[in-house]
Structure 1
Amino acid sequence: MAARKEEDGKGESRLVEPSLWERLERPAPTQRASLTLDRIAAAAVELADEEGAAAVTMRRLATKLGVAPMAAYRHVSGKGDLWALMFDRVSAQLTVDDAVGDWREVLRSFALQTRDMMLRHPWLGQVPTPLIQLTPARMAVAERQLKALAGHGLDTDSMMAAFRAVGAFVHGATQSEIALREYKRENGWDSGDETRRALAPQMNYLMDTGRYPTYRKYGLSATRKDDPAWEFEFGLDCVLDGIAQRLGI
């Protein structure tokens, strides 16, 4: 797809290359059917799922696709485009039926789906933040949630802050869950009990100082230490309860 002329704010024309997303939605007639942006995205996601984010290089991707590295560069300009394609592809799986109108149900459903998506694709936490907001699928997810909040008389700043508060909880809580899972894997600990036994010398010393009585009570009486799904949903509901109370919706 050729560059086109556009006027800038000073009335001067300049050549503008079509964006990644324009190229994805309007492929050039001469584009080779054997190598498309969709195929590149699928291969990159598969590579990251199998071997981690560090494995996703243009050279490794070209090998997986069975093409020369320069062939891939004719479709994506580099790692930035590649990350964006990958994130857009997996984010397209997030959806809530249009018939669902309750704001809380919409945001809760997307939150649960996002946690599941991040657990399946832990490399998502390494995607540069600006790209998260600048893919069509991610924008569609945001639009659906903002639309659910928009019908309650909120000012636009409050609406966006509420939406982002839920997103911050989801990403922060899930990243912590992934980090703990990876830490256990690296140390060969297969269960919560095994992890606690391995960390017992450190924990026992700290508890025996008498400085942390509330944490000690948790350690002795908690029954959901190894139930991250319950903990996530409880925390999520606390966030949603707070939004409802603060905004009166």
Structure 2
Amino acid sequence: MRTERRTPLNRARVLDAGIALADTEGVDALTMRRLGGTLGVEAMALYNHVANKEDLFDGMLDRVAEEITLPDVDLPWRDYARARAVSAHTTLMRHRWAAAMWTARISLGPARMRYMDGALRSLREAGFPAGLLDLTYHAIENHIVGHALQAQGFPLEAAEMTAMGEGFLRTFPTDRYPDLAAHIRHHLDHPTGDDFEFGLDLILDGLERMRAVT
């Protein structure tokens, strides 16, 4: 009788299983017992690879950070910042639980430290003075994470938004609020748009002008 060999459990497998569970069912569904069940082990076996649930979350977040593509270090600061921001935003949108955790968890793993250090180095080498450098870094990061949180927090899917919006406009006092009505109509007629990159470019253009006069 052959015994099926089980893939050995390790930290990477535990973290990846946690990410998969959070992606499909939400981070609130992630318990050590549930995670152990998906891996075919008792919850206590997980503690050989993660110290506790906080360590699990920190490790999961750093695994997500590993998915962010860091641009070539020789790129001009604006190109570096833009490519990094687009990749980071795409990653946070792929893992919809991660944006809120990105700002809430202050324990940094190696992948997040590389991500942050690369951004700060690029700005320093571009000649940003210390004060403006700090403001620049946070302005870009706030746009990445804030936009993801807003996009993920919107309660309606595209089809639901269309149906709700059309019904809303039929009873909306357009004569009193014509510009708001036009705004809603625009969203219904143009349901897609790359507003993240539009806002990002505005921020980067403004920061470049500030850098040039300092």
Identify if the C-alpha distance between structure 1 residues 224 and 81 changes in structure 2 by more than 3 Å, giving closer, same or farther. Answer: farther
Residue deviations 1:33-54, cap 9 Å, x none? 8221111111000111111111
CA-CA distance at 1:222 after TM superposition:
6.6
Structure 1, unmatched stretches of 5+, are 1-32
* 1:184 matched to 2:156: yes
Identify if the C-alpha distance between structure 1 residues 241 and 97 changes in structure 2 by more than 3 Å, giving closer, same or farther. Answer: closer
Aligned to 1:124: 98
SS in 2 for 1:248: helix
Give the whole-Å Cα distance in 2 for the aligned partners of 1:87 and 1:101: 27
Aligned to 2:40, which of 66, 71, 77? Answer: 66
SS in 2 for 1:71: helix
Give the whole-Å Cα distance in 1 for the aligned partners of 2:73 and 2:125: 15
Aligned to 1:102: 76
* 1:240 matched to 2:204: yes
Residue deviations 1:1-35, cap 9 Å, x none? xxxxxxxxxxxxxxxxxxxxxxxxxxxxxxxx822
1:115-194 maps to which residues of 2 (within 5 A)? 115-127=89-101, 129-131=103-105, 134-180=108-154, 183-185=155-157, 190=159, 192-194=161-163
Identify if the C-alpha distance between structure 1 residues 223 and 184 changes in structure 2 by more than 3 Å, giving closer, same or farther. Answer: closer
Give the whole-Å Cα distance in 1 for the aligned partners of 2:21 and 2:187: 39
Larger RCO: Structure 1 or Structure 2 (Cα < 8 Å, ≥ 6 residues apart)? 2
Give the whole-Å Cα distance in 2 for the aligned partners of 1:220 and 1:42: 42
Structure 2, unmatched stretches of 5+, are 1-6
SS in 2 for 1:190: helix
Of stretches 68-77 and 213-222 in structure 1, the one that deviates more from structure 2 is 213-222
- Asked if the contact 1:184–1:195 (Cα under 8 Å) also holds between the matched residues in 2, the reply is no
TM-score, normalised by the number of residues in structure 1: 0.74
Give the whole-Å Cα distance in 2 for the aligned partners of 1:129 and 1:172: 10
Aligned to 2:88, which of 108, 111, 114? Answer: 114
Give the whole-Å Cα distance in 2 for the aligned partners of 1:224 and 1:233: 20
Aligned to 2:195, which of 205, 219, 231? Answer: 231
Give the whole-Å Cα distance in 1 for the aligned partners of 2:138 and 2:107: 12
- Asked if the contact 1:47–1:56 (Cα under 8 Å) also holds between the matched residues in 2, the reply is yes
TM-score, normalised by the number of residues in structure 2: 0.85
Identify if the C-alpha distance between structure 1 residues 168 and 225 changes in structure 2 by more than 3 Å, giving closer, same or farther. Answer: farther
CA-CA distance at 1:244 after TM superposition:
1.0
Aligned to 1:199: 168
Sequence identity percentage = 30
Aligned length: 207
- Asked if the contact 1:58–1:79 (Cα under 8 Å) also holds between the matched residues in 2, the reply is yes
